[in-house]
Amino acid sequence: MGRNTRKRRMPLATKAVAASAALALGGGGLVWANFYASAHEKQPGRDRTKSTAAQVATIKCPDVGQQLTDVPRNARRGVAKELALLDRQITDAYTRLAETRQAQAGDTGYVDNAILGPLKSKRVATLDRINININRAGGKAPQGLGGLARCEGVPVEQPDTGNGGGQDQGNGGGQDQGNGGGQDQGQDGGGQDNGQDQGNGGQADNGPVADDFINIEDVQPNSRNLPNGLAANGDGGSTGSFTTECGTNENELRNSDNVIVAPGVSNGAQHQHDYVGNQANTAFASDEDLANGETTCQNQGDRSSYFWPVLRIQDGTQDIDQGQPGGGQDGNVGKIVEPSEAELKFVGNRTSDVVAMPTALRIITGDAKAFTNGLNNANTAWSCTGFEDRQVTDKYPICPEGSSVVRTSAFQSCWDGQNIDSANHRTHVDFVEADGSCSNGFQAIPQLQVRLVYDLPAVQIDNGQVVNPFAVDSFPDQLHKPITDHNDFINFFDENLMNEMVDCINSGQDCQ
């Protein structure tokens, strides 16, 4: 699959998180109805522990996009549209799974015959079109692409996938993103309710649930390195920083597109993004559109686009996207919360100088499908103000009174020196090695670190139920798990400002 899949160091997980987990991170989710059962949760009048032991809880499909590492440039837009269609097919299959529980109970072959079979047929046709797109452009599709059509039903009880450790992000600051153990997938079943019934979590049957949260004071301090730890304290290389002020999305610019992974596809992300910086970012924006777009950044030389999935409070209320694509239609409900702070900071490399990023460079960090894909590309850091030496990857933090929720993303900081993107949006950039260097001839570039702070109502766990839960938007099948958090960046610094950033970082200054 390329460089992004090579085995990375797996650091020790946070003990407090590991101790709280009932099941290892599994491989699936369910739209609007989730039938994972916790080993300890009960609700009045019934014991949910083994109530659905015979049911298929979810559907797991291969992530085709990550297999496509060599797609001719003039075929990528067509392939991206087909990949977005694969995502929609999965969503539709999950929806059908959720809506047909009674039929499944009376027919052991129902899921295979009525859900998985038709889904495979649709995927075969879509994969054939991907093959045609690639071949017509003079490329060669990966051998065995058709073998990725088959999806599988995953039972309620999940085996350990062996993904107990997280990706070492080695980001010039030695950030350790080790997953602090597994997740209990406990949720009650049921149909779509658009979040009005709080049930076993803020979005009832689409998460989050009690086991997705942990008290930050129960997390081991200093259990992992902070994003800029080694970058700031290294004994060589480039130790400066450059901060750009672009606001907190006061304009409320949001959409459910993703011009990087699904150009030309409306609602390609199936969840809402906050945008700061460039104001022209939609699925249909060209590089020329972005280069000429207005910016919220104080320095008008920064027209870069910074975007991430929105955070919502699931309190039973709705936002303006109720029932709309990317919102309630895709299982994302609740009040969208604007960050109170959004720090966009670029830092150096502890072993070498950095070089300028090319115009229109695209970087995605984290994996919006980490719940089903596993942790290879997961890159999540959740914490609380005043406790930022304690970070978790697979849990949302419960912060004490007076403390705010913090999301931190540290981007890849090694570039192949040639490409502004790659077919799977991963292999043209990479994280640094354990010693802070870039491997395989890659060059060090300024590393973007995004720190978002949110002032939220206090979360409480009351008799297994979440009071005032919050969650990031996600694909419906990802159940709003914290491990799916991700962040996106497209570079549109003008040449002069980018050169100023590089000079500042390489000379050890802190600039803005």
pLDDT digits 0-9 by tens, 129-168: 999 999 999 998 888 899 999 998 877 443 333 333 333 3
Say if residue 358's pLDDT is above 90.
yes
Query: Quick one: pLDDT at residue 101?
Result: 86
Percent above pLDDT 70 for the chain:
77
pLDDT value of position 479: 83
- Give the span between the Cα atoms of 92 and 85, in whole angstroms: 10
The strand pairing partners of 104, in sequence order, are: none
> In this predicted structure, what is the pLDDT of residue 47?
32
**452: helix, strand or coil:** strand
For residue 458, CA distances in Å to 197, 295, 469 come to: 19, 34, 9
The pLDDT tens digits for 465-490 are 899 999 999 988 888 999 999 999 99
N- to C-terminal Cα separation, the chain? 38
Two structure tokens written together for 130: 């991907």
- Arithmetic mean of pLDDT, 23-27: 30
Q: What digits encode the pLDDT tens for the residues 211-263?
A: 999 999 999 998 655 444 334 444 579 999 999 999 999 999 999 999 999 99
What angle (nearest 5°) sits at the alpha carbon of residue 448, between those of residues 1 and 472?
75
Band of residue 126 on the pLDDT scale cut at 50, 70, 90: very high
Residues in contact with 167: Cβ distance below 8 Å, sequence separation at least 6, in sequence order: 8, 177, 375, 376, 377, 378, 379, 431
With b for 16 or more beta-carbon neighbours within 10 A and e for fewer, the 337-368 pattern comes to bbbeebbbbbbbbbbbbbbbbebbbbbbbbbb
Going from N- to C-terminal start, the domains of the chain cover 11-53+156-511
Per-residue pLDDT tens digits for 53-84: 347 777 789 999 999 999 999 999 999 999 99
Mean pLDDT, the chain, rounded, equals 81
Task: Quote the percentage of the chain above a pLDDT of 90.
Answer: 64
Query: How much is the pLDDT for 199?
Result: 38
Mapped onto helix, strand or coil, the DSSP state of residue 490 is strand
pLDDT at site 56:
75
**pLDDT digits 0-9 by tens, 15-24:** 332 322 322 2
Tokens 């009690």 belong to residue: 210
Question: Of 294, 255, 262, nearest to 278 (Cα)?
Answer: 294
CA dihedral for 375, 379, 382, 388, sign (positive or negative): positive
DSSP, residue by residue, 408-451: EEE---EE-SS-S--TTSSTTEE---TTS---TT-EE-PEEEEE
Rounded-to-integer distance, Cα 198 and Cα 434, Å: 44
Q: What is the pLDDT of residues 165-212, one digit of tens each?
A: 333 333 333 333 333 333 333 333 333 333 333 333 455 567 788 999
Residue with tokens 């609700």: 43
Tell me the mean pLDDT in the region 391-396: 94
Residue 490 contacts residue 360 (beta carbons within 8 Å): yes
pTM of the model: 0.81
Tokens read off for 455: 């002032």
pLDDT of residue 247: 98
CB neighbour class for 464 (10 Å; exposed up to 12, middle 13-18, buried from 19):
middle
